[in-house]
């Protein structure tokens, strides 16, 4: 890797981590970020909707239009006593010869927010008369239900005919080393809220009751059956349980209902309708009485063809010394709202190994290298 220093990226990341912006709260993160860009005469447009704070800040005019996309909200810390370092302390710790920055959001994704901000600031300072437009879009509701977030702003961009040519999402895309992965698309996400109805009764009289927990277990086993093997673009559709609730609190009572929540990350071989049909068939096969509510969180997408991916890959190899793999694995991101505009949409950010975990952390040197990748990308596209 190249020896590159961008200490302001690290400082800004620390300042952002210390703001407890648990979704959908922003806690002044976007104002802090804009304070770094304001001296460069970036113009700004805030969007407030459904309790969500969004900030679009731009420099330049016309095309090509390069958009960086991020979020300032973070997931809750979980049991704070389980952390070895204060989740909002932004402490830098020496580990095996590397400096690691601890804190909720260090990897997902305040580190990338800072890297994008400093890259834009430094690029505009060096090239105030650059061609086209560069911009940063931030939301405070990516980790939550997304209401009033990037989906809303994307509609406004379309209304204003302000369509990016290129969008780079700073989500943590890499696995083992910065530079090893570019996300060129994402699977869709469908959640099901299922309540299985039984008949409450005393455990000593099984003939008088219908145990919804047993029935739910049978249904979950059916839902775990593979839907496909994936294709040349996407990995297989996956299924995971996320929540389950049942019981009266008594050890000798079978409850009336068992409720659970589950999620499919689905590829282009599936659809919302095909998965719903699969669930309904499983319920019918088992003869269950259920209430089911589906929530579509996003459809699968692949980056539009063009010059964006090869340009980014060349820059990553130059700065990070590694040939990136092109992948559609993992979760979803707000890129799903920008890609349908016809924008070439890619994701490249820090390593994802510790995201949403206790002791989330990121490598300080990799944050500085990430900033350099973003600067070089702006130079490649706008000079």
Q: Is 59 annotated as a binding residue?
A: no
SS3 of 203, please?
coil
How far is the C-alpha of 57 from the C-alpha of 65, rounded, in Å?
A: 12
Q: 287-320 in b/e burial notation, b at 16+ Cβ within 10 A?
A: ebebeeeeeebbbbbebbeeebbebbbebbeebb
SS3 of 40, please?
helix
What 8-state DSSP symbol labels residue 131?
S
Q: Give the other-Cβ count within 10 Å of 217's Cβ.
A: 15
Q: 36 near 12, Cβ under 8 Å?
A: yes
Active-site annotation holds for 73: yes
Alpha-helix runs per DSSP H in the chain: 7-17, 29-37, 110-126, 150-159, 212-223, 272-286, 308-320, 335-338, 364-382
Rounded to a whole number of angstroms, the distance between the first and last alpha carbons of the chain is 25
Residue 244 CB-half CA count within 13 A:
13
Q: Is 71 annotated as a binding residue?
A: yes
How far is the C-alpha of 4 from the C-alpha of 195, rounded, in Å?
A: 54
Question: What's phi and psi for 245, nearest 5 deg?
Answer: -145, 130
Bin 59: left if φ > 0, else alpha if -120 < ψ < 50, else beta.
Answer: beta
How far is the C-alpha of 195 from the C-alpha of 218, rounded, in Å?
A: 13
Q: Is 108 annotated as a binding residue?
A: yes
Beta bridge partners of 100: 93, 363
Active-site annotation holds for 142: yes
- Helices 7-17 and 29-37 pack at an angle, to 10 degrees, of 160
Q: Is 272 annotated as a binding residue?
A: no
The one catalytic residue in 26, 142, 363, 368 is 142
The one catalytic residue in 27, 73, 122, 372 is 73
Q: Is 79 annotated as a binding residue?
A: no
Cβ-proximal residues to 26 (8 Å cutoff; 6+ apart), any chain: 53, 72, 73, 140
**Binding-site annotation, residues:** 71, 108, 143, 171, 356
Catalytic residues: 73, 142
**Binding-site annotation, residues for Zn(2+):** 71, 108, 143, 171, 356
């Amino acid at each position: 890797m190249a020896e590159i220093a961008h200490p302001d990226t690290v400082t800004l990341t620390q300042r952002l981590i210390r703001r407890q912006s648990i979704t959908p709260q922003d806690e002044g993160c976007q104002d802090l970020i804009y304070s770094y860009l304001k001296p460069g005469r970036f113009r700004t447009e805030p969007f407030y909707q459904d309790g969500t704070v969004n900030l679009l800040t731009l420099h330049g005019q016309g095309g090509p239009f390069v958009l960086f996309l991020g979020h300032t909200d973070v997931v809750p810390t979980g049991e704070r006593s389980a952390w070895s370092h204060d989740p909002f302390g932004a402490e830098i710790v020496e580990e095996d010869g590397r400096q690691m920055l601890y804190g909720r959001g260090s990897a997902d994704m305040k580190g990338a927010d800072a890297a994008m901000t400093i890259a834009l600031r430094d690029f505009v300072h060096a090239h105030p008369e650059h061609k086209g437009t560069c911009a940063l879009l931030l939301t405070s509701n990516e980790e939550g239900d997304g209401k009033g977030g990037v989906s809303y702003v994307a509609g406004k961009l379309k209304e204003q005919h302000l369509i990016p040519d290129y969008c780079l999402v700073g989500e943590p895309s890499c696995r083992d080393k910065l530079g090893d992965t570019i996300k060129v698309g994402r699977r869709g996400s469908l959640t099901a809220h299922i309540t299985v109805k039984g008949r409450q009764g005393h455990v000593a009289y099984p003939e008088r009751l219908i145990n919804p927990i047993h029935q739910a277990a049978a249904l979950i086993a059916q839902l775990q059956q593979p839907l496909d093997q994936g294709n040349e673009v996407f990995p297989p559709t996956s299924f995971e349980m996320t929540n389950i609730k049942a019981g009266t609190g008594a050890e000798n009572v079978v409850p009336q209902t068992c409720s659970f929540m589950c999620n499919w990350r689905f590829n282009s071989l599936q659809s919302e309708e095909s998965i719903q049909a699969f669930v309904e068939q499983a319920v019918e096969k088992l003869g269950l009485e259920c209430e089911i509510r589906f929530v579509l969180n996003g459809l699968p997408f692949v980056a539009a063809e063009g010059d964006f991916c090869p340009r980014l890959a060349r820059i990553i190899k130059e700065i990070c010394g590694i040939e990136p793999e092109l992948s559609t694995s993992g979760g979803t991101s707000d890129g799903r709202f920008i890609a349908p505009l016809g924008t070439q949409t890619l994701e490249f950010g820090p390593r994802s190994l510790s995201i949403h975990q206790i002791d989330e952390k990121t490598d300080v040197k990799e944050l500085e290298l990430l900033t350099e990748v973003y600067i070089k990308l702006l130079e490649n596209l706008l000079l």
